[in-house]
Every structure is written in C-alpha cells, then in structure tokens.
Amino acid sequence: MKRLFLISILLVFATAGFSQQDAKAKEILEKVTKTTQSLASLDAKFSFEMNNKAENIKEKSVGSIILKNKKYKLDIPQMGLQVTCDGKTIWTYLVNSNEVTIANLDESTDELMDPAKIFTIYERGFNYKFINESVDAGVPVYNIDLTPQKPTGDIQKIKIMIDKQKMLIRGANMTGKDGNTYLVSVSQFKTDGVYKDTDFIFDPKKYKGIEVIDMR
C-alpha cells in the first residue's frame, strides 16, 4: 500500500484552504495547486524505488498514471498491477493472477491512497516546511518537508521536490519507521492528452477467465 501512496503523492493537489504553517511552503503549494487544477488531464511516467539498507533490499519499478479530475488509471507492469478509478468505483487488477477487486472508492481507499486528494495531506496531520532550493538532474527544484504532527502511523518524514519552472511535483522521498525509504521520480509529464470518461472504467468482460471479487 505504501507503494501506491508514494506514486500518488506526485500527482495532484486538491482544492482547499491552507493552514497557517511555513509561509514559504504555503506560497509554493498554492502555486502548484493552481497549476495542476488548470490542467484538463495529466499523464505522468515515473520510477519507484524501495530501499532497506539493514535488510539489503532494493527494488525498482517503472510505471505510468493518467489523471483526469478524480478519475485515474495507474499501471505498473513490473508489479503486474493496474488500478482504474472513475471517481466512484475503483478496480484493482492483478495481472499475474488475472484477478480484479472492485470496491467503492470511499470504502477501499483512504486519503493517502487517493491521487485526487493526496496533497491535502499536509492539512490533516502533517506539518509542512520549506527547506531549500536545489538542482535535480539539471532541473531547479524547491524542496519541502512534510512531517506527521502525531507519532502514530508508519511515516516518519516525506520530502517533495517541485519543479520551479513547471510548478509540478517532480519527485517524493518517504522515510518509513520500518527502516524503508521510498523514492518516486517523475521522468515525463504530458498535459495535453484527451481522454474519455470510459477510459477510466475497467471492463472485466474483456479478460477471459478473470476472477472478479466485488466488495461493493
């Protein structure tokens, strides 16, 4: 589940007021909100990496996501995972086992897992703070830290990088209390795609022999 969380955190700011925390971070986040909400759609390609030095574990995957308002389609081929959401229903398809789980969005995901809401995270239990400006692979970025206000939960700290010119999220790095670190880097953004609402509906009938688990 943390994998989907880190993937999601790159993608969208939802509409909301901002709490009175770090003024510089607040200003930057508001600009990213304005930028992302002005887009008719967003198509991103990304890499995901999980590391645990103590256990000598390093896993890396690549994937893509298409987002249109509250609708999205996530594809991570190396994990055999496809997630499709039309804003109300979410279909989680496991390619290798040819199995899809269907659920109502509000019952199957919390706000950490919903790309349409993920960037209101700092308003509900997180402090945010501007750290500095730096250059990532030749791209000037802002660095902002999110830290939980309460010690409960699995997250210790989240660092997000924001492309200064595009005012879009370029990457995120999460430190977990379990010793794992999770890094997501966006390699490509497209903002001119045209998608129909039906593009965000998963049709089990198109998959021969599929097992359907309907949790609605």
Select the more confidently predicted residue: 144 or 15.
Answer: 144
Could you tell me the pLDDT band of residue 30, with boundaries at 50, 70 and 90? confident
User: In 11-89, which ranges are continuous DSSP H helix?
Assistant: 23-37
Do residues 48 and 62 lie in contact, with contact meaning Cβ atoms separated by under 8 Å? yes
pTM of the model: 0.76
Spatial separation of the C-alpha atoms in residues 130 and 156, rounded to whole Å: 17
pLDDT digits (tens, 9 = 90+) for 90-99: 999 999 999 9
Q: What's the token pair of residue 126?
A: 């997180």
Which H, E and C letters describe 115-177, residue by residue?
CCCHHHHHHCCEEEEEEEEEEECCEEEEEEEEEECCCCCCEEEEEEEEECCCCCEEEEEEEEC
pLDDT mean over 153-168: 85
CB within 8 A of 141, min separation 6: which ones? 133, 134, 135, 161, 162, 163, 164, 170, 171
Task: Give the angle 183-37-106 at the CA atoms, nearest 5°.
Answer: 70
List, in order of start, the domains of the chain with CATH numbers: 2-191 (2.50.20.10)
- The predicted-structure confidence for 186-213, as pLDDT tens digits, reads as follows 888 888 889 999 999 999 999 999 999 9
The stretch 129-143 carries a mean pLDDT of: 94
Mean of the pLDDT values across residues 155-164?
87
State how far Cα 127 lies from the chain centre. 19
